[in-house]
Structure formats: structure tokens, C-alpha cells
Structure 1
Amino acid sequence: MNTKINLLVIDDDDINIFIIKKIVEKTGYEAKMVAKTNGLMAIDYLKELIESDQVLPHLILIDINMPVLNGWEFLDAYEKLGIKTEIDMYMLSSSVYENDIEKAKTYKTVKGFISKPLSIERLVELFEGKSLDSIQP
């Protein structure tokens, strides 16, 4: 049985979303990528998945600087959802500010900080870190 990796990308930059989609395709993994252009849209999407009892993302990549709800506000709203399933979340940002990297460490849901641009090798590492035995490249 081949399980897809469900990837949620939260980024307001269409070019970054396009690049990540191409990188996902080049990993060789079967992955379903959903992109939301701000944190509020992502929260609404997660609520829809929960209400309709659908599979939650295995991995979420979150940009910091976005309109409506930025990455930090998304994380605050996410924690209020009370999701028990562990989802690997990474901040994906062009920010080089040390305080952003340190702030990311204060969220228990955030596994790490990735500087843009995302590489194929880095995404493969994230996919391989998933504990889903049935995911095959």
C-alpha cells in the first residue's frame, strides 16, 4: 500500500509555491501538496479537514511574513485547535534574523527553521523523517 505524504505549504508568494511544487515532483515521493496563501486560510483548511474527518497534513511548511495571519499568528491559532495528531512543522523563510530562528524554537509544534530556497535534498530529508512505513520513493 502506497500512502501519499500530505504536505501543506503556507506562503503568500506564488513563485515560492510554484518552486516548492516542482521540488515535490522531483523528490520521487508520492505527495499531495496543498498551498494556502495566508495563515487564516490554512487554519480554515485544517478545520475543514477535522470536521469532515479527513487525513491531516503530515508536514506543514510555514512562511513567516504573510498578510492576514502571519506564520507566528498561524502557530498561535493552530495551538488553539487542539489537534492531537503530531504534524511536523517547519518555518520556511527568507528571514535571516536570529530572533526569528530563536522564536521558532519556542513553539513545541515547530521542528525546525529552513531558510529559503527549499532544496530537493532538504525536502527528501523531511519526507524520509516521516514515520510512515508505507511511504515509498
Structure 2
Amino acid sequence: MDSKINLLVIDDDDINIFIIRKIVEKTGFAVNMIAKTNGQLAIDFLLENRENAEVFPHLMLIDINMPVLNGWEFIEAYEKMDISQKVDMYMLSSSVYENDIEKAKTYKIVKGFISKPLSIERLIELFKGLEEQP
């Protein structure tokens, strides 16, 4: 990946969004980060930009507990959308419930479960994974 990495963070906590933005800045990668505070706003954004490679995300970090449309509902809505672009999706949650971690594994499009707080090392790992993709 030669250009910027498009990162979509879906989280209703402004402090988490702020922290992730700071971590992104420290990775040294060129990143265009967009944050949406619930799953419905994220779905609307994706529908509006499905043909726009400039902003369509390569990576999504999705919180579970949010108003309007939670993380699981977002994933289900996303699966119904006709989107061909490949996106790496990770659940990013403060949940320590084993059933949430197991539930994340039941979705083919979810690549993993990351417990908050997100570390700079883990984010760099995710960005490097994107670069290695064809």
C-alpha cells in the first residue's frame, strides 16, 4: 500500500477516539482517520463513499457497546451491503466477556478482537498487515 491508510474508527467514546488519533500519529504511517460515533453513522458514511477509494476504509476498528447501532448490529448491516472492497475489521472493546470474544470469531469478515486500550504496537501490526496484502 503506497498511499494513505484509511482508518474508520466506530466508537461512541470521544476520549477513546482522541487516544486512538494520538496513537495513529505516533505510528509514523500516513493515515486518514475518520471516526463515527455509532454504527448507523458508519453505515451511512460507507454507503455514501462506497465508490470513493480516497476515503473508503482499509481498516475498521469497531466498538461493541454504542447507541443507535452497536458493533454487532453494524457488522450485520455491513454484511447486507453490496460492498466489494476488502476491509480488515477488528472489534475493539473494553469488554472482557469471553462470549464477545467468541462471537467476534463467528463473523467471517471480523479478523479479530482487540481489548482496549489499543497499543501502538498492535496498531503498527495492523497497518503492516495491510501493507502486505496484494
Confirm or deny a common fold (TM above 0.5).
Answer: yes
Q: Which residue of 1 aligns with 2:24?
A: 24
Higher relative contact order (CA 8 A, sep 6+): 1
Matched residue of 2:9: which SS? strand
Determine what percentage of the aligned residue pairs are the same residue. Answer: 74
Q: Which amino acid in the other structure matches residue 61 of structure 1?
A: L
Give distance in 2, aligned partners of 1:44 and 1:103: 24
Q: Which residue of 2 aligns with 1:63?
A: 63
Give distance in 2, aligned partners of 1:76 and 1:47: 14
- 1:109 matched to 2:109? The reply is yes
Structure 2 gap segments, 5+ residues each:
none
Q: Deviations over 1:9-61 (max 9, x none)?
A: 000000000000000000000000000000000000000002xx201200000
- How big is the alpha-carbon RMSD for the aligned residues of Structure 1 and Structure 2? 1.3
Q: Deviations over 1:78-114 (max 9, x none)?
A: 0011212210000000000000000000101100000
Give distance in 2, aligned partners of 1:7 and 1:127: 10
Give the TM-score taking structure 2 as reference length: 0.94
Structure 1 gap segments, 5+ residues each:
none
Give distance in 2, aligned partners of 1:112 and 1:58: 15
Matched residue of 1:44: which SS? helix
Q: Which residue of 2 aligns with 1:90?
A: 90
Q: CA deviation at 1:6?
A: 0.1
